[in-house]
Amino acid sequence: MSQLIESKLDPKKAVLSEVCNAGDPWMAEIRKGQIFRILDLEGNQAVDTLFYSAAGPDERYSAVDTIARQGKLYLTTGSVLYSSEGKPMLTIVADTCGRHDTLGGACAAESNTVRYSLDKRPMHSCRDSFMHALNTCECATHRHMSKRDISANINFFMNVPVTANGGLSFADGISGAGKYVEMRAEMDVLVLISNCPQLNNPCNAYNPTPVQLLVWNA
């Protein structure tokens, strides 16, 4: 069930506020206790997101642990994001969208070809954005990350209903302009985002748009 809770934090007091354009990657370290907000500026944007322990990338967000611990497929206020070591990484403390996908994964050249057509293979994808960010990362503990470090991600704001026979469907988004999700870091984490460029399904309303990323100190 959705838990719609608004934040009391003032964007003017954020210690970090940046815009990530559609199709671009974004990477930053969030310290334990800090609050991290992803803001959907124009509505129905899908934000593919991975989290890693800042101490080292071997410990990272685990979709399996997160789903199993809470017995829920979708994320909203109160959801805890668990690591591959079974430790809490972040807790969602505010959410004005109400549901975020854990199953749909990130678009790739291969999946675009299989789902749509062969001529979609050169299309920019979230896995491309992830790899671009990793290849330019200057953080010493994450400098040697590679494509094998890209695991199952969260799709914030994305609507991926599970069908009666256990399949997935990509449906119209349930987000809107100004909707956001806000998380408290329970450990030092590295955030890796691909602001999805997908044009072939309704996850971005066929019109990828920018998002804003904000951080507040504890």
CA dihedral of residues 95, 97, 101, 102 (deg, nearest 10): 0
| pLDDT for res 116 | 56
- Alpha-carbon distance 218 to 215, whole Å? 10
pTM, entire model: 0.91
Write out the two tokens for 72. Answer: 């829920």
Output the six-digit token pair for 151: 């695991």
Cα-to-chain-centroid distance, residue 217? 21
Torsion of CA 108, 146, 87, 100, to 10 degrees: -20
Which phi and psi (to 5°) does residue 101 adopt? -85, 140
Beta-carbon count within 10 A of 86 CB: 11
Q: Mean pLDDT for each consecutive 10-residue tract of the chain (218 residues)?
A: 88 98 94 98 94 94 95 94 98 96 77 61 74 75 77 90 74 88 98 86 83 96
Note the pLDDT of residue 213: 98
- Non-local CB neighbours of 191 within 8 Å, separated by 6+ positions: 26, 27, 28, 29, 30, 36, 49, 50, 51
**pLDDT of the residue at 141:** 65
